[in-house]
A and B are shown apart, each in its own frame.
Chain A
Amino acid sequence: MNIQNIKCRSLILKEIREFFDNRGFLEVETPLLSPHLIPESSIENFKTCLVSPYGDDIPLYLTPSPEIWMKQLLAQGSGDIYQICKSFRNSEQISPVHNPEFTMLEWYKTGIDSRGNIKICEEMVNSILQKETAPECRPPFREITMEEAFQELAGFSLEENIEISDLSARLDENGIPRNKDDSWEILFHKLFLTLVEPELPTDRPLVLKDYPSRLVTLASEKPGTPWSDRWELYMRGVEIANCYTEETDLTKMRDYYRLESIEKAALARVPVRSSEKWLDGMTDFPACSGTAIGVDRLLSALMGDIGIRGVILFPLDDIIF
């Protein structure tokens, strides 16, 4: 990290705020310490506690994203909102693309679906380009569906191979080991991460869209299809952003909570408290689309692919190892 990069980081963050301010988004600041989290079985969390002077200590968690709070604001009628905040994910390998504490940009725009957010994201990136930004990281974005990606890069249709037995057969054909008890999600990821993701074109930013709805998320489904209304943005093969048309059906949100809570309880090394109580206040949650961007990764890409260590002040492995 040098002073030039620190200045550049500061400037780009100002430009991001300006972009959203000019479009009528409200900047919000929500708690990083939370007594409960959205259960996400894929994420390990950081746990701490409030030492009470009167009674029992209260467990608190560092939020892995501001989603739980921002969605409550939307349900309370906030309108379009954005936030740039620190987020925390435990047990991920510290690497050129991971730091346990990182900066996240998350925004929600009401009245649009995830397609509308591709456009906003593209305009936002366009407004913060640097002279060091490589052509591969500059808009226009290339869009490709998950089905197209499988057909072109793995050589088979995902839609026609959507059952566990099909996925298993495709893994065996490609010599990719699997375990008897691998879930649908794991089989899918083994195929996607081995055959598809490393081969995605890198000559332009890439929007990979229409993820299988069997990957249980809070993204809404595309009716009548096996896909959910969700995309991820890649720059030079690195995942930068994740966007959903948000699920607004309260029953489906509760279903997600139950499923993920069970999975999380079975898998998590840091068990967390998740409470459905906040969902009671979500009856007026508006139709909207939310995008989360790993800011450090985005800055690294824009500043000439210098790695997140080049844009984070005091990366964790520098200060603890």
Chain B
Amino acid sequence: MGQIKAGAVAKGTFLLEKETPFIVVEREFVNPGKGSAFARLKLKNLRTGAVLKVTHKTQDALEEIDVEDVSSQYLYSDGESYHFMNADTFDQYEIPMASMEEMQYFLKEGESYKVVRWGSESLDIKLPPKMDFLVTEAEDAVKGDTVQGATKYVKVETGLTVKVPIFIKEGETIRVNVETKEYQERINN
């Protein structure tokens, strides 16, 4: 556990507030016309998923959590939690689904992910910047619709809906930018 000045906090920093682990999801610096400099933070409670908005003086000392990234295999979800297994030790980790909004779209059984561990608690899942998905539902391109740049929506194996170029077909694999959920390219097997 270390101290960090609120002014040095970044998006993705793990903080402990009132004995609860939070991740910083938004950070903005504000200098009101009169008064000290402040950091306006949006924090996500990693146990409940609830969002907390706080404002600190940039000089305020906050508790930063020392976390560790552990390579783990995604096993399954039981409706409440995601379950992972440490690839080296076979330890099983559980992460409450409530704090991981939209994570289901990026978890593929058997795939390896980085689980963010704090002591005996799993706080977060680090996703790679880009992931490949199998297209499971796609309507055929409408005949005659040849306008350049025309797009349509397809569904991939995890249920995520992605806007893609019109030529993408069911059964093909596409690469998606995880943060923006945008189509990147078609992967030829």
Asked whether any CB of chain A lies closer than 8 Å to the CB of B52, the reply is yes
B104 close to A (CB within 8 Å): no
Name the interface residues of B13-62: CB closer than 8 Å to any CB of A.
17-18, 29-38, 40, 52-57, 60
CB-based contact A193/B34 at 8 Å: no
Q: How far is the CA of A25 from the CA of B152 in the complex (A)?
A: 58
Which residue of chain A is the closest to B28 with respect to CB atoms?
Answer: A95
Q: Which of A193-251 contact B (CB under 8 A)?
A: 193-195, 197-198, 211, 215-217, 232, 239, 242
| A residues near B53, Cβ cutoff 8 Å | 176, 194-195, 198
Contact with B along A114-141 (1 / 0, CB 8 A): 0000000000000000000000000000
Output the nearest chain B residue to A217 by Cβ-Cβ distance: B34
B36 and A42 within 8 A (CB): yes
* A239 lies within 8 A of B33 (CB): yes
Contacts of B57 in A (CB 8 A): 186
B29, A42: Cβ atoms under 8 Å?
no
Interface size grouping (class) on chain A: 20 to 34
User: Do B33 and A189 touch across chains, with their CB atoms under 8 A apart?
Assistant: no
Q: Tell me if A170 is interfacial: C-beta within 8 Å of chain B.
A: no
Q: Are A177 and B17 in contact (CB under 8 A)?
A: yes
A173 within 8 A of B: no
Find chain A residues with CB under 8 A from B35 CB: 42, 185-186, 189, 215
A55 at the B interface (CB under 8 A): no
A177-B56, A194-B54 given as contacts; is B38 within 8 A of A92 (CB)?
A: no
B60 contact set on A, CB distance < 8 A: 179
Complex contact A95–B55 (CB within 8 A): no
Measured between beta carbons, the chain A residues less than 8 angstroms from B30 are 193, 197
Residues of A within 8 A of B17 (CB): 177
Specify the chain B residue showing the minimal Cβ separation from A89: B31
Q: Which of A179, A192, A198, A267 contacts B32 (CB 8 A)?
A: A192
Residues of the A chain whose Cβ atoms lie less than 8 Å from the Cβ of B40:
193-194, 198
In the assembled complex, which residues on chain A have CB atoms less than 8 Å from the CB atom of B52?
A: 175
Q: Mark B55-95, 1 if CB is under 8 A from A, else 0.
A: 11100100000000000000000000000000000000000
> For B36, what are the chain A residues with a Cβ–Cβ distance below 8 Å?
41-42, 185-186, 189, 267
Distance in angstroms between the alpha carbons of A217 and B33 in the assembled complex: 10
User: CA of A98 to CA of B29 in the docked complex: distance in angstroms?
Assistant: 10
B55: chain A residues within 8 A (beta carbon): 176, 189-190, 193-194
Those of B103-121 within 8 Å (CB) of chain A: none
Q: Are A92 and B33 in contact (CB under 8 A)?
A: no
Give Cα distance in the complex from A40 to B32, angstroms: 12
Question: With the chains together, A17 CA to B164 CA distance in Å?
Answer: 50
A239 / chain B contacts, CB cutoff of 8 Å: 32-33
Residues of chain A lying within 8 A (CB to CB) of residue B37: 42, 91-93
Closest to B62 in A: A177
Complex: how many Å from CA A217 to CA B53?
Answer: 28
Least CB separation from A91: chain B residue: B37
Q: Which residues of B contact A89 (CB under 8 A)?
A: 31
Given contacts A93-B37, A177-B17, A239-B33, 12 further A-B contacts (CB under 8 A): A42-B32, A42-B35, A92-B29, A92-B37, A93-B7, A176-B53, A177-B56, A179-B60, A189-B38, A193-B40, A193-B55, A194-B40
Residues of A within 8 A of B (CB): 40-42, 89, 91-93, 95, 98, 175-177, 179, 185-186, 189-190, 192-195, 197-198, 211, 215-217, 232, 239, 242, 267
**A-B contacts, 21 listed (Cβ < 8 Å):** A42-B31, A42-B37, A89-B31, A92-B31, A92-B37, A93-B7, A98-B29, A98-B31, A177-B17, A185-B35, A189-B55, A193-B30, A193-B40, A193-B55, A194-B55, A195-B53, A198-B40, A211-B34, A215-B34, A239-B32, A242-B33
